[in-house]
Amino acid sequence: MTQIIERPPMHGDDAEEPYGPMLTTVPRAARPISVPTSPNLTMAQAINRALHDAMAADERVLVFGEDVAKLGGVFRVTEGLAETFGEQRCFDTPLAESGIVGIAIGLAIRGLVSVPEIQFDGFAAPAFDQMVSHLAKYRMRTRGDVDMPVTIRIPSFGGIGAVEHHSESTESYWLHTAGLKVVVPSTPSDAYWLLRQSIVSRDPVIYLEPKRRYWTREAVDTTAPALPIGRAAVRRIGADVTVVTYGSLVATALSAAELADQRGWSLEVIDLRSLNPLDFDTVADSVRKTGRAVVMHEGPRTLGFGAELAARVQEELFYDLEAPVLRATGFDTPYPPARLEKLWLPGPDRLLDCVERAMEQP
């Protein structure tokens, strides 16, 4: 005899309900936790510190994905989280990206805050349906009733000599999807604060980590954020050409700017940091000043973010322009094998070619 029913529930039964429909997801400020200034952190360590501090600040924060717990992530970005916070809060999952994002949505429906990892950019494809059809739309589909505090960390972009499917630029997919925010840090400090701010966001954030810059070092001030999500940073002030970029190419643009100086061209470099929400005002202020703009990103040119920015600049600033808006990007090919990637990726030369064309306009 198998055991049966506990109690026959009745329609309209107003028995005590021990738990409500949803826990209220009250946003909690990304407040400082650790020692005020952490000297000389790599970007990977800064992300790790942000995860530690976010989990310490709010017990609803969970970290999960493939190989994130025992191994600490293939880049060691999640190292120590399982030991510190236990296997209920940092756990390894089956190898299934759609599943990883799908459970994050279910956890969010009940008020928990997820920071899942997709191990590499190319592996976001299996999770596409969950991200585009559900994660992005859940707030609207519930008429604003349900928060989706999910930050999906994706080690992204190329330049590390990786095998196929480990060097992709996925941002255009997410930027074409209403309901997602997309942020891309370029420095250890931004990596720390953009992640802390993403985790307290009540909307889903796609957090793209430029793995080529994981090992760059910087002193990280964890007492106060420099800028919120939705604000760009002017990394270099210049007079002739505005270079708009993000992520791993900010450093590329800054080094190209030094070379440009030698040729008499003064470059202003804008690090977007947040692609959606977009801080177009900062871009516009710069282009009004310089009259020239070059957009730089790794991903293929067609319908890359450069296309959107070029369209926006000409729509809103046409009469301020001295030259067409140009794009220094990857090509419309699949990401090439590692031996060819240096030729494919936009570097200082491709950027300076664009700068030269912009400067030569009559």
Partner 1 sequence: MAEVSAGGVELAPVRLVDPDGSPTAEDRYSRDLPPETLSWLYEMMVVTRELDTEFINLQRQGELALFASCRGQEAAQIGATASLRKTDWLFPQYREIGAFLLRGITPAQMGAVWRGKWHGGLGFTEKCCAPISIQIGTHGLHAVGAAMAAQRLGEDSVTLAFLGDGATSEGDAHEALNFAAVFKAPCVFFVQNNQWAISTPVSYQMAAPSIAHRAIGYGMPGIRVDGNDVLACYTVTAEAAARARDGGGPTLIEAITYRMGPHTTSDDPTRYRSQGEVDHWSALDPIARYRNYLQAAGVWTERLEERVAAKSKRLRTELRESVVGADDFDVAEMFDTVYHDITPDLAHQREQLLAELAKEA
Active-site amino acid positions: 166
* Choice between 181 and 212, CB closer to partner 1: 181
Stretch that binds partner 1, among 136-144, 156-164, 330-338, 344-352 (CB under 8 A): 136-144
Q: Rounded to 10 degrees, what is the CA torsion of 252, 253, 256, 257?
A: -150
- Comparing CA positions, the residue from 315, 259, 263, 314 lying closest to residue 292 is 314
Contacts of 180 (CB under 8 A, 6+ apart): 131, 135, 136, 174, 203, 204, 205, 206, 276
Size of the site for partner 1 (CB under 8 A): 66
d(CA 128, CA 134): 10
Stretch that binds partner 1, among 45-53, 188-196, 273-281, 329-337 (CB under 8 A): 273-281
226-255 residues near partner 1, rule: CB under 8 A? 230
* Choice between 107 and 162, CB closer to partner 1: 107
Using the CB atoms, write b or e for 4-30: b if 16+ within 10 Å: eeeeeeeeeeeeeeeeeeeeebeeeeb
Q: Is 24 in the site for partner 1 (CB under 8 A)?
A: no
Stretch that binds partner 1, among 48-56, 72-80, 90-98, 293-301 (CB under 8 A): 90-98
- Comparing CA positions, the residue from 160, 154, 221 lying closest to residue 193 is 221
Q: Is 105 in the site for partner 1 (CB under 8 A)?
A: yes
* Choice between 271 and 279, CB closer to partner 1: 279
d(CA 350, CA 352): 6
x-marked contacts with partner 1 along 138-167 as a string, rule CB under 8 A: xxxxxxxxxx--------------------
Q: Is 223 in the site for partner 1 (CB under 8 A)?
A: no
* Choice between 17 and 360, CB closer to partner 1: 17
Per CB under 8 A, residues contacting partner 1 are: 1-6, 8-13, 17-23, 62, 88-89, 93-94, 96, 98-99, 101-112, 126, 129-130, 133-134, 137-147, 178-179, 181, 201-203, 230, 276-278, 280
